[in-house]
Structure 1
Amino acid sequence: MTILEGIQLTTEYLEKKGIDSARMNAELMLAHILKCKRLDLYLQFDKPLKDEEVSLYREFLKRRSQFEPLQYILGTVEFYGLEFKVNRSVLIPRPETEILIETILNNTSKEVSLTILDIGTGSGNIPISLARNLPLAKITSIDISGSAVELANENAVLNGVNENITFVNAGIDEYAPDEKFDIIVSNPPYVSKDEYQNLQPEILNYEPIEAVTDNNDGFYFYNLISEKAKSFLRRPGSLYFELGAELFPEVKNIMERKGFEKITFKKDYLNIERVIYGELN
C-alpha cells in the first residue's frame, strides 16, 4: 500500500463513519506515524508503507472511527504556538482559549513581576503559555485531578517553564493560598448538566466529565471563583474567565454582584463573547 492509497482508503472509511474533516484526519494520523509534516506526504505519494506503519495506521483508524478525538490518538496538540502532551485525563486545548491568553497579554506588561493564579490546570496550556510570554510572572496553577497536574508538570518541562509555575493538586473549594494574586484566570467547566448529554461523541465519550460540565446550571464555578477571588486578589486585581456561548450576560451579573468593576468582553472569530474580565479595587 502506498501513502496515497492509504490516505484514500482511510478517508473513505472515516467519511462513512461520519467523521468530520476525514481527509485531514487521515493525513494527520499518517504524518504522525511517518514522523513528517502533513504537507510532506504530498511529496511522496508513491512511497510504499511498511507493514508496521500500516498496522499502526489501522489501529489509529479504528480509534478515530469510534470518535476518539484525534488529539488523544496523536498524544499532542499545538496551542498558542507551543506543543502540549494530552491524554484522556485532561480537556483538549481549544483554539478559542488562545483569545483568553491574548487578552491577558495585551493587558499586562512583560516588565512587571506579577503573581497569577490559574484555576483548572488541565494540560497546563494556560499557565504555560502565560509563563512563556510573561517571564517575570510567578504562576500558581491548581487542579482537582492529580493526573492532570502530573501531565501539566511534564508539559511545563517540555516548554521550559517549570521553574516559573507551581502546580497544586487541589480543587477551588478547598484551596487556601498563602499569598495574594494580581491576576486570577480560569476556563471553568461551563456546560450545564442539561446540555451535557447533547454534546458530540468525541466530548461525551472521551473527555473528562469534570472538565466539561459543572453538573449544575453552567454558572457554578463562575459564582464560586468570583467569590473566592474577593479574598485571593490584591487590590487592584483582575479576574479573567473564558465563556461559553450566550453566558456573558449572566457571568457579567455574577461579577458585578461580587464587586468587580470595568467589566469587559472579547469576542472570538465567530462573534461569540468568549472572554470576560473585570477589576477588583
Structure 2
Amino acid sequence: MNIAEALAAATERLENSGIPESRREAASLIAFAIGRERVFLIAHPEYILTVDETAAIDESVKRRSSREPFQYIVGRQEFYALDFEVSPSVLIPRPETELLVARAIDELSKIDEPQFCEIGVGSGCISISVLYNVPNATAVGLDISEAALAVARKNADRHNVLGRLDLRSSDIYGSLTPRQFHAILSNPPYIPSSDMPALQPEVSEFEPRVALTDGGSGIEIIERIIAGAPTFLLDGGILMLEIGAGQSEIVCEMFDPMVWRTVIVLPDLQQIPRTVIAVKK
C-alpha cells in the first residue's frame, strides 16, 4: 500500500466514524505514524509503506475512529506557542485558556519578583506558559492527581522552568502560606454534570472527568476558590478564573465588595464571557 491509498482509506474510515475534517486528520495521523512531516505525504504519494508503518497507521486510525482525541494519540498539544505533552490524565489545553495566560503575563510582568499559585495545574500549560514568559516569576502548582502532576513535571522540565515551579499534590489551597501570592490562577472544572452527556465523545468519554465537572452545578469549586483566595493573596493581589458559558453573572455575585476592589469578565474569541479577573483590596 502506498501513501495515497492509505490516505484514502483512512479518510473514509474517519468520515464513517463522524470525524470532522476527516482528510486533514487522516493526513496528520499518517504523518505521525510514519514519523514524517505532512508535506512528505503531498510530495511522495507513491511512497510504499512498510509493514510496520502500515500497522502503525492502522492503530492510530483505529484509535481516532473510536473518537479518542487526536492529541492523546500523538501525545502533544501546542498552547501559547509552546509544545506540551498530554495524556488521558490531563485536560487537553484549549485556545480560550490562552486569554487567561496572556492577562496573567501582562499583570505579573509589572512586579519585580512575582509569586503565583495555580489551582488544578493539570498538564502545567498555564503555569509553565506564564513562567516561560515572566523569567523572574515563581509558582506553586496544586493538583489532586499524581498522574497529572507527573505530566506537568515533564512539561516544566522540557521548557526549563521546573526550578521555579513547586508542584504539590493537594486539594484547593492545601499546604499554602497565607498572604503569599500576587496572583492565583485556575481553570477549574466548571461544566455542570447535567451537561456532560451532550458533550462530544472526545471530551465526555476520554478527558478526565474530575478536570471537567465538579459533579454538580459546575460552580461549587469556583465558589471554594473565590472564598479562600483572600487568605492567600497579598493586598492588591489578583484572582483569575476561567468560567463556563452562562456563569458570569452568578460567579460575579460571589465576590464580596468589602474584600474585592474590582471584578471584570473578559470574553473569549467567540464573545463568550470566559475569564474573571478580580483584584483584592
Amino acid at match of 2:150: E
| TM-score under structure 2 length normalisation | 0.95
| Aligned equivalent of 1:22 | 22
The alpha carbon displacement at 1:127 in A equals 0.6
List alignment gaps of at least 5 residues for structure 1. none
List alignment gaps of at least 5 residues for structure 2. none
Alpha-carbon distance in 2 for matches of 1:123, 1:70: 16
| Aligned equivalent of 1:267 | 267
| Aligned equivalent of 1:175 | 174
Secondary structure at the residue paired with 2:275?
Answer: strand
| Aligned equivalent of 2:223 | 223
| Aligned equivalent of 1:71 | 71
Secondary structure at the residue paired with 2:95?
Answer: coil
Runs of 4+ deviating beyond 3 Å = none
> Contact 2:68 / 2:202 at 8 angstroms: preserved in 1?
yes
> Contact 1:110 / 1:136 at 8 angstroms: preserved in 2?
no
The alpha carbon displacement at 1:258 in A equals 7.5
The alpha carbon displacement at 1:254 in A equals 1.2
Change (3 A) 1:278 1:15: same
> Contact 1:110 / 1:134 at 8 angstroms: preserved in 2?
no
> Contact 1:2 / 1:47 at 8 angstroms: preserved in 2?
yes
> Contact 2:120 / 2:141 at 8 angstroms: preserved in 1?
yes
Alpha-carbon distance in 2 for matches of 1:204, 1:77: 19
> Contact 1:68 / 1:202 at 8 angstroms: preserved in 2?
yes
Q: Which moved more, 1:255-264 or 1:24-33?
A: 255-264
> Contact 1:222 / 1:254 at 8 angstroms: preserved in 2?
no
Any idea what the Cα deviations from partners look like across 1:241-280, whole Å, max 9, x if unmatched? 1121121111111124683232122211111111110100
Alpha-carbon distance in 1 for matches of 2:279, 2:58: 52
What pairs up with 1:119-130 in 2 under 5 angstroms? 119-130=119-130
| Aligned equivalent of 2:93 | 93
Alpha-carbon distance in 1 for matches of 2:24, 2:184: 37
Any idea what the Cα deviations from partners look like across 1:17-74, whole Å, max 9, x if unmatched? 1112211211111121232332342122221211101101101111111111111111
Secondary structure at the residue paired with 2:118?
Answer: strand
What pairs up with 1:35-54 in 2 under 5 angstroms? 35-54=35-54
> Contact 1:227 / 1:258 at 8 angstroms: preserved in 2?
no
| TM-score under structure 1 length normalisation | 0.95
The alpha carbon displacement at 1:166 in A equals 0.5
Secondary structure at the residue paired with 1:254?
Answer: coil
The alpha carbon displacement at 1:110 in A equals 5.9
